[in-house]
Amino acid sequence: MNSANIGNTVVKPKGLVKAKLSRDDIIMRGGMIVIALYLVISLVFPLYSMFSKSFSTFQYDLSKFEVQISDDAGQFSPEIASLQNLNKDLKAITDEELSTGSGGRLGVTIFFPDFSFRSPVMYRIRNVDGQGRFLVGSKLMTGTDWQELDSNTFRRVQLRPVRSTGLSNFINYFSTPALFKSIQNSIFIAIISTVITVILAFWFAYALNRSCMRFKGFFRLIAMAPILVPSLLPGIALVYLFGAQGVIKGLLFGASIYGPIGIIIGSVFFTFPHAFLIISTALAISDARLYEAAISLKASAWKTFWTVTIPGARYGIISAAFVVFNLVITDFGLPKVIGGQFNVLAVDIYKQVIGQQNFEMGAVVSVVLIIPAILAFAIDRVVQSKQVALLTARSVPFNPKPSSRADIIFTIYCGLVGLFIIGMLGICQFAALIKFWPYDLSLSLNNYQFDKMDGGGWGAYYNSIKMALLTALIGTCVIFFGAYLVEKSSGFKTGRAIFQMFAMLPMAIPGMVLGLAYIFFFNNPENPLHIVYGTMAILVICTVTHFYTVSHLTAVTALKQMDSEFESVSASLKQPTFKLFSRVTVPVCLPAILDIAIYLFVNAMTTVSAVVFLYSPKTSLASIAVLNMDDAGDIAPAAAMGMMIFYTNIFARVIHLILSKGVLRRTQAWRSSN
């Protein structure tokens, strides 16, 4: 139920080809098509809308405007001039300058070198056809009637651009140094954070799997805690730890936390559990015979580490690195809170769309952000497909031997990492309870009066719970059923391959990009699905789609453990497949189903990037409230709300644990019968 599962699946369609389609086959294929259609509507169409939007440009079309000029006495000459012809002679504006954004305005007086607003000359201007648009002051003129204006009014005429298609958005983007710099910045922090996180997580996982230190269960729990909070929260914690009024700001020696330092520390915090899980899975399986061989060859511990341990875990390490890289480069919440002047791609999208209402440029940055995200994803998949089974039937599981010195060092190391994680969460809870940091340190619950702040109040918190429950319920049904169909249906090879591809795609699409793509697709009045825009439904659809891949892989892994003989047997017993599905498959896979549900719940509670463009005032969410309260400067209430999300997720986890235990006893007894 986590990113670790991504690595462990290789898809091999079962090659049972039947001559004739049975009724079951038709139903299953129909079901598969329905779920594939869901993915097309919730993923492929929106992305297509976004790509087209990035090529949608705005140009001043000078041929659409005509002017007439009078003499000093106000007598118009019959000559009508097109602005295009005027510009041909004057070269007042270059072709490049004619491309602009949707909000572009072009003062018309640049085409009249002799223009003076004091002169008695009169001007007439009109649109050649219904497409042209210009402003007199702020009044929009769309008709083809002549507008007669004195020179003082004429200087207030602004031409408006018309929509066309082309590459000029991209040219504009790459020629704006501030925007271009963001690419470097994003890649820079992603690489540094990846290196630090993977090294820290490796030794943490190593300590837990390869030493005899104590409190392993405790440390494992602590390591998973960051997954339960939105990525904004470490940013807020860093403000209280290292900001101008931070409790331990001395540790930075005068450097500012607002910038790359803050983003990197926060990224290490929120990506740590992901890296830890993947590497831990890789380190958990190892063959003791290799280590025995190393000892008998008298290899030093150092050499053994580099020739046995690292190669054994290399796929885990590589996979962890790409997962972390992807998480950091696509994250939006953390740099928004702590990034200061350090611009990154994900925040640029937000600024373009929310700050400047420049949707086209938002789409362009999205396309730019997708490239490294898809690359990282693709490399990870290629590496994973090369992985071969490390454990064979003859393998001997490796059991660590106690070593008092190493065990103490590892305990101290894990203790420090644990302190970092607990410290970040603890300072948020502490700050949330302080009345007015730093001038009035008395305790108070004032920061929990969310209804008095921007962001949606307690309503946002309840919305979040509702959204997370719906996502868990609907998402689990859709995803598990989809995985079942693709895994257990026979024949229909091409269809299944396409379905697999669709199911993998969401993993590579950053949340911000998905959210923006949803605006373009669903907020189109031509689209009948427009009715879901601004409702809870679109938030649920977006979140299910955003977290589809990992859930799908978890389901596939569980289903692969079931022999396909079940289907053959039920077919020969003339039992409908859906009876088998409900009587056998679902009960056997219940632990995986519960894992998918809790994964979706937790992520729905913490997600910001996917829903930041989609919430409406009535469907604001807790994670969005954290963002907006921080944005308005209400940092302590933002911390308070962030911790509410944390406690809710812990509560959900506990419920999940109790359910899993109960379910395991009732449905999984067969597993331990031998």
**Interacting residues with another protein between 328 and 357 (CB under 8 A):** 336, 340-343, 351, 353-357
Asked if residue 499 lies in contact with residue 33, where contact means CB atoms within 8 angstroms, the answer is no
CB of 67 to another protein, least distance (A): 19
| Least distance to another protein, CB of residue 196, Å | 18
Residues 416-455 that bind another protein (CB under 8 A): 436-440, 451-452, 454
When binding is defined by CB under 8 A, the residue of 34, 140, 221, 412 that contacts another protein is 140
Coil, helix or strand at residue 162: strand
CB of 184 to another protein, least distance (A): 10
The neighbour count for residue 193, using CB atoms within 10 Å, is 27
**In this chain, which of 36, 43, 125, 179 binds another protein, going by CB under 8 A?**
179
Q: How far is CA 362 from the centre of its chain?
A: 15
- Please report, as residue ranges, which positions from 273 to 302 form the binding site for another protein (by CB under 8 A): none
Give the integer Cα–Cα distance in Å for 235 and 230. 10
Q: Which residue shows structure tokens 């670790």?
A: 4
- Count of residues touching another protein (by CB under 8 A): 73
Cα–Cα distance measured from residue 607 to residue 346, given in angstroms and rounded to the nearest whole number = 14
The smaller minimum CB distance to another protein, of residues 336 and 488, is found at: 336
**C-alpha distances in angstroms, 146 versus 105, 474, 542?**
20, 59, 49
Cβ contact 479:596 at 8 Å = yes
Sequence-distant (6+) residues with CB within 8 A of 631 are 336, 454
Q: Which of 44, 128, 135, 406 binds another protein (CB under 8 A)?
A: 135
Least distance to another protein, CB of residue 125, Å: 16
Residues of span 350-389 touching another protein by CB under 8 A = 351, 353-357, 359
Does position 105 interact with another protein (CB under 8 A)? The reply is yes
Q: What sections of 161-212 are H helices per DSSP?
A: 168-174, 177-210
Q: How far is the CB of 641 from another protein (least distance, A)?
A: 15
DSSP letter assigned to residue 656 = H
Q: What does the alpha-carbon distance between residue 552 and residue 478 come to, in Å, rounded to a whole number? A: 10
Residues, the chain: 674
Residue with Cβ nearer another protein (123 or 359): 359
**Could you give the CA distance from residue 74 to residue 380 in angstroms, rounded to a whole number?**
73
177 binds another protein (CB under 8 A): yes
Residues in region 249-278 near another protein by CB under 8 A: 256, 258-260
Task: Report which DSSP code applies to 70.
Answer: B
Query: In terms of CB distance, is 299 or 529 closer to another protein?
Result: 529
User: With binding defined as CB under 8 A, does residue 527 bind another protein?
Assistant: yes
Strand order in the sheet with 162-165: 99-100, 56-59, 162-165
Considering only residues 500 through 519, tell me which ones interact with another protein, judged by CB under 8 A: 519
Minimum distance, C-beta of residue 81 to another protein, in the bound complex (Å): 23
616 is an interface residue for another protein by CB under 8 A: yes
- Choice between 70 and 527, CB closer to another protein: 527
**628 touches another protein (CB under 8 A):** yes
Identify residues 302-331 at the interface with another protein (CB under 8 A). none
Residue 142 interacts with another protein (CB under 8 A): yes or no: yes
Q: What are the residues facing 135 on neighbouring strands?
A: 140, 158
Residues between 554 and 613 that touch another protein (CB under 8 A): none
CB 77 within 8 A of CB 71: yes
Binding-site string for another protein from residue 456 to residue 485, where x marks contact by CB under 8 A and - marks none: -x----------------------------
Interface stretch with another protein, choices 130-138, 313-321, 379-387, 576-584 (CB under 8 A)? 130-138
Asked if the bond preceding 161 is cis, omega within 30° of 0, the reply is no
Candidate ranges 19-27, 192-200, 289-297, 625-633; the one touching another protein (CB under 8 A) = 625-633
Report the site for another protein in 195-254 (rule: CB under 8 A): 239, 243-245
Write the DSSP string, 207-260. HHHHS--S-HHHHHHHHHGGGGS-THHHHHHHHHHHSTT-TTGGGGTT--STTH
Of 266, 371, 379, 364, nearest to 319 (Cα)?
A: 379
Nearer CB in complex with another protein: 242/322: 242
Q: Is 24 in the site for another protein (CB under 8 A)?
A: no
Please identify, using beta-carbon distances, which residue of 344 and 596 lies nearer to another protein: 344
Contact call for residue 158 and another protein (CB under 8 A): yes
Q: For residue 92, what is the enclosing H or E element?
A: none
DSSP 601-615: HHHHHH--TTTTTT-
Quick check: 523 binds another protein (CB under 8 A)? Answer: yes
- The window from 80-88, 89-97, 152-160, 496-504 that contacts another protein (CB under 8 A) reads 152-160
CB 258 within 8 A of CB 338: yes
